[in-house]
Structure 1
């Protein structure tokens, strides 16, 4: 979870790619394809990682209750989303990887911090300085 340019896909490739199937709306292109892959993973019990912004509780509710009902242990990683850092990382992207700044600004305005009460079994904060990612356990006081 986090703004565009926060490092979500980089985090997936560094830490999760060897074990988890990636479910990413950008690469799958349509919500229907994303839903189909998510449902397939649920039915087969495949390990998966949702690599999307998911800025609101409503967005995350698309996945968490279904995963819990299927017996999954739900782990969330919130990528540090400092607006200026995300805009700078995005500006360094090329081609289709770059998103309009207005998209990042819009996501920023609706960003809701995750909370255990959404159904997460574990929750982590990932600080990203552009070269190193530091993972730390989420604290209740992080929930705003």
Structure 2
């Protein structure tokens, strides 16, 4: 949060690359963004349990997420809610060929 505040104070563009699975997890980020007048955009990856498990298993061991962490995140995963007032929301899906589609 301190780094986000520092960057927005300096009027820098910021991307938070983290899962932030729940509304509660995103609340602080959105509050800081609004305080600084930042444009807020969500990229929503609808849950794909089987695909997530397969992609995680294919990762190198050092970057693999423990199964318990993967399942916990999937259990808590909530899509953007209108009350969060994102300026834009994009839905991102795996295309089955190693890429993504963005709607």
Superposition TM-score, scaled by structure 2 size = 0.91
SS of 1:49 mapped into structure 2:
coil
Aligned residues: 102
Superposition TM-score, scaled by structure 1 size = 0.66
Question: Which blocks of at least 5 consecutive residues in structure 2 are unaligned?
Answer: none
Deviation, structure 1 residue 36: 2.5
Q: Paired residue for 1:133?
A: 100
CA distance in 2, matches of 1:85, 1:79: 12
SS of 1:48 mapped into structure 2:
coil
Superposed CA offset, 1:76-128 (max 9, x none): 10123201100100001113210111111111111111123202010010011
CA distance in 2, matches of 1:116, 1:123: 10
4+ aligned runs moved over 3 Å, structure 1: none
Q: Paired residue for 2:53?
A: 87
CA distance in 1, matches of 2:74, 2:29: 21
Superposed CA offset, 1:4-29 (max 9, x none): xxxxxxxxxxxxxxxxxxxxxxxxxx
Question: Which blocks of at least 5 consecutive residues in structure 1 are unaligned?
Answer: 1-34, 137-144
What is the RMSD of the two structures over their aligned residues, measured on CA atoms? 1.2
Whether the 8 Å CA contact 2:42–2:89 is kept in 1: the answer is: yes
